[in-house]
A and B are shown apart, each in its own frame.
Chain A
Amino acid sequence: MSEKATQKLVETYRGAQSALPGAGGWLARRRETAIDAFTQTGLPHRRLEEWKYTDLRQVLEKAILVPAPAHDGALVLPELHSATAFSAIDRYVLVFVNGVYQPGLSQLAHLSKGAELCALAEVLHEQWAKDIVERRFDDARQAEDIVDLNTALMSDGACLRIRKGVKLDKPLHLFFLGADAGASHTRNLILLENEAEATIFETHMGEVASFADIVTDVALGEGAKLNHVKLQDESSEAIHLSTMRTRLAASSKLSSFTLTLGCGVSRGQNFVLFSGEGAEANVDGAYALKGKQHLDQFCVIDHAVPGCTSHTLFKGVLDGASEGVFQGKVVVRPQAQKTDGRQMTHALLLSRDAAMNAKPELEIYADDVQCAHGSTVGELSKDAIFYLRSRGIPEAEARRLLVLAFLDETLELAPHEDARDALKLLVSDWFSEAGL
């Protein structure tokens, strides 16, 4: 631990330690071991295989790592369509500004019976929260080490528990706004008990140089269903590090979709662990980047038990000097027979300076499985553009149509109908604004 950013983060922890939620309890001890582990490993860098394309150490070198101050004065939402994308949908809203829950801005009237929603500090005494925070998916996974940083510094977050058999009547919308420069460490805990169902939207926005470190831990009981739609539209100065870890019990189902339209440097990690047979996970996403934006999607699906199905599809378009990364891994453990694992990634490069790196991996220890992965990178087909132009469609329009059609395949997978329509509109706007 010699480099500056790691040191600064450790110092931040030492300074804030006593004021963080859970002081004096089990979490305080957990934070200590986490910060020790983090001090040992330091911030991940390029020489670690799983961070090969995103050097977080370098990215954070000049970032502001002290916590963002509590916001003062009136709040102004960025003038982006993303800010209001889900407004038309009847939903519960939870607003976090600079990583801090804002009850005044949230709309939470009467959650359905059997659904409990509270801030991180209020849930720490409960056993389920402790269980969910303490578990780790895979000790050997380098990419999971960074969760220690969040565990040590997490200060707020949304904690949702849905009781057995209860269906959350409306989607829950978590809105994260970066209003002032600085760092925030958010931890969301979500527990869906057996046969419970919920839909969660996440929006991340901000026009400041923020460092958002978000970990969302999800546990799905038997037969539970979680739909998750994440929208990210941040400024090109924002650094976004998010990790979602989902454990699926038998016959449960996760459908997660991420749309990224703006970020500075973003690393989105998705860990899925099957712990019961017959479960299903869909982890999909789309992205459209420009300027010098950098997006790294990292996805590990761990088939630890037999008979589970996973599907991953990420599609993106890269303009300007942006860089896209997809690193995926499907692991099939020795006993996980009858696994069906599919993983696809496709990227379109729209400009000379854009770049794409893809690394879809399969790691298979069982023989009776169906596993496939595919990856393509290319530019728009000249033949297709010519075809459309020969039908009287101007070139710009032709390109727009083709790109939208390209992204449409994955947008279709967004698990909530109204949200899906909203996302499609956003993507279409992105193209008008990008002037493509």
Chain B
Amino acid sequence: MAAVKETVETVREAEKYKYGFFTDIESEKAPLGLTEDTVRFISAKKNEPAWLLEWRLDAFRRWLTLSEPTWAKVTYPPIDFQDAYYYSAPKQSAKLESLDEVDPKLLETYEKLGIPLTEQKMLAGVAVDAVFDSVSVVTTFKEKLAEAGVIFCPMSEAVKNHPELVKKYLGSVVPTSDNFYATLNSAVFSEGSFVYIPEGVRCPMELSTYFRINEAQTGQFERTLIIADKGSYVSYLEGCTAPQRDENQLHAAVVELVALEDAEIKYSTVQNWFPGDEDGKGGVYNFVTKRGDCRGKNSKISWTQVETGSAITWKYPSCILRGDNSRGEFYSIAISNGHQQVDSGTKMIHLGRNTSSRIISKGISAGQSSNTYRGLVSVHRKAENVRNFTQCDSLLIGDRCSAHTVPYIETKNPTAVLEHEATTSKISEDQLFYCMQRGIGEEEAVALIVNGFCRDVLQQLPMEFAVEAQKLVGISLEGSVG
């Protein structure tokens, strides 16, 4: 009887986090724990050149000297970095020529996730690089992209086929010494996407990566590197999910963007890692370093993120505005429910003349969650005529959640014009009453109002994502009312 009850409960749980399934695929793992041998093992598995192994080992040795950052407004039990697998790959026949050869179970998983690789090819015109645990499974639409000269492939392939580009740009935005998690990532990163848009090319389609942590006790450490050469444009989408597990899974990714003269990169994320169950058990620790470098004149980098998952989010997608007239944007929706803890925001480092940045952050906390916006706007002495506008609004749903705003504003140049404003409020009773007396249920009304609250950011998302994100906003808040 107890077993039946358990099953019923499991099913009910699964409905809440619909990506919480686990695919039973045999996989190959690195030995448990993290030592120099683990790093060598990963590097060997990927047949990496000597310089990259050396780079990794250098990072690993540095990592040993670092301690975990504690300044963020999140609390969690200490992480045992030796009790995790740093590499896990689905076992399958050696080489893949086309989609048909991919393990059907894997494809099924992706279908469940809503990314039918085969069909999507036709319909959406979105090229997808899907990363399963640590290994990139398949990159669709390769040929069409190759025609335009765009390189879009898994990182390991880029290391083999375009070593000069990787060597030139890897670690140039987020150096191996950057911070605890970035250094860890540099040592053990196993997969990720590599994008290079050649001079003057407007990437013909949206590029997309889907990340999934499948194996138990594995950490995912992907490394994404996007280079937009002079005058090019690319829009990149990223989605993430993980199965539901009792223990916490670690995700420590690094994303590096480089925009050269007149180039533009638009980076959108819908992050929906497993947030943990109702009692705050399990869930993904999302400790991610994302940074874009507007290296050339008139370049532009735009971050858009919808954060709904993860037990803990520690993430600050940033822009280094080095080139004159460059522009950085950050649009974010961070929704926390249950026992989630979010400490997220951005950094806009103005180094060049006439650089501008815009930050729109919407934080929504429900349940017993904690939601912090932490952002830095810094203007260096030589940066003339800098313009920044920051707006962070927080919405509180229920009286056990919390919302915090921690903006840092540092100016060393008088010509800078910086504005920051923030508000915190709850959903107005009047709005709720208005919706409800029109026959809209309470939960639906809340979702509607929240969607309105987030509108500025949702508008920035590419079409396909915007629809998904809107639904996600509704789902994430389920159970937060009443």
B402 touching A378, Cβ below 8 Å: no
Any B CB within 8 A of the CB of A370: yes
CA distance A359 to B402 in the complex (A): 19
B408 touching A357, Cβ below 8 Å: yes
Number of A-B contacts defined by CB within 8 Å: 113
B399 touching A375, Cβ below 8 Å: no
Residue of B whose beta carbon sits closest to that of A379: B414
Any A CB within 8 A of the CB of B458: no
Any A CB within 8 A of the CB of B425: yes
Any B CB within 8 A of the CB of A374: yes
0/1 interface trace, chain A 231-271, chain B, CB 8 Å (1 if under)? 00000000000000000000000000000000000000000
A372 touching B422, Cβ below 8 Å: yes
A375 touching B426, Cβ below 8 Å: no
B75 CB → nearest A CB, Å: 13
B406 touching A367, Cβ below 8 Å: no
CB interface residues, A 90-130, toward B, < 8 Å: none
Any B CB within 8 A of the CB of A292: no
Contact of A356 among B409, B415, B424, B425 (CB under 8 A): B409
Residues on B with C-beta less than 8 A from A358 are: 407-410, 420
A360 touching B425, Cβ below 8 Å: no
0/1 interface trace, chain A 338-377, chain B, CB 8 Å (1 if under)? 0000000001011110111111111111111111111111
Contact of B399 among A334, A371, A373 (CB under 8 A): A334
**For this complex, into which size category does the number of interface residues on chain A fall?**
20 to 34
CA distance A267 to B244 in the complex (A): 50
Residue of B whose beta carbon sits closest to that of A318: B414
Task: Given A362-B405, A364-B404, A367-B397, verify A357-B426 contact (CB < 8 Å).
Answer: no
Residue of A whose beta carbon sits closest to that of B371: A364
B449 CB → nearest A CB, Å: 14
**For this complex, into which size category does the number of interface residues on chain B fall?**
20 to 34
Any B CB within 8 A of the CB of A49: yes
Residue with the highest number of chain A CB atoms closer than 10 Å, among B394, B405, B424:
B424
A266 CB → nearest B CB, Å: 19
Residue of A whose beta carbon sits closest to that of B373: A362
B121 CB → nearest A CB, Å: 46
A297 CB → nearest B CB, Å: 14
Residues on A with C-beta less than 8 A from B412 are: 355
B399 touching A377, Cβ below 8 Å: no
Residues on B with C-beta less than 8 A from A360 are: 405, 407, 420, 422
B414 CB → nearest A CB, Å: 3
Any B CB within 8 A of the CB of A282: no
Residues on B with C-beta less than 8 A from A376 are: 417-420
B422 touching A354, Cβ below 8 Å: no
Any A CB within 8 A of the CB of B398: yes
CA distance A72 to B417 in the complex (A): 51
A337 touching B399, Cβ below 8 Å: yes
Residue with the highest number of chain B CB atoms closer than 10 Å, among A354, A361, A370, A377:
A377
Residues of B within 8 A of A (CB): 71, 381, 394, 396-426
**Known A354-B414, A366-B396; further 10 A-B contacts with Cβ < 8 A:** A49-B71, A334-B402, A361-B407, A362-B404, A364-B402, A367-B397, A367-B398, A367-B399, A375-B407, A376-B417
List of 8 A-B pairs having minimum Cβ-Cβ separation, nearest first: A349-B414, A367-B396, A379-B414, A358-B409, A365-B402, A375-B420, A362-B405, A378-B417
Could you write out 27 A-B pairs with CB less than 8 Å apart? A334-B402, A337-B399, A349-B413, A356-B410, A357-B409, A361-B404, A362-B394, A363-B402, A364-B394, A364-B396, A367-B397, A367-B399, A367-B401, A368-B399, A368-B426, A369-B424, A370-B424, A372-B421, A372-B422, A372-B424, A373-B420, A374-B420, A375-B407, A376-B420, A377-B417, A379-B414, A379-B415
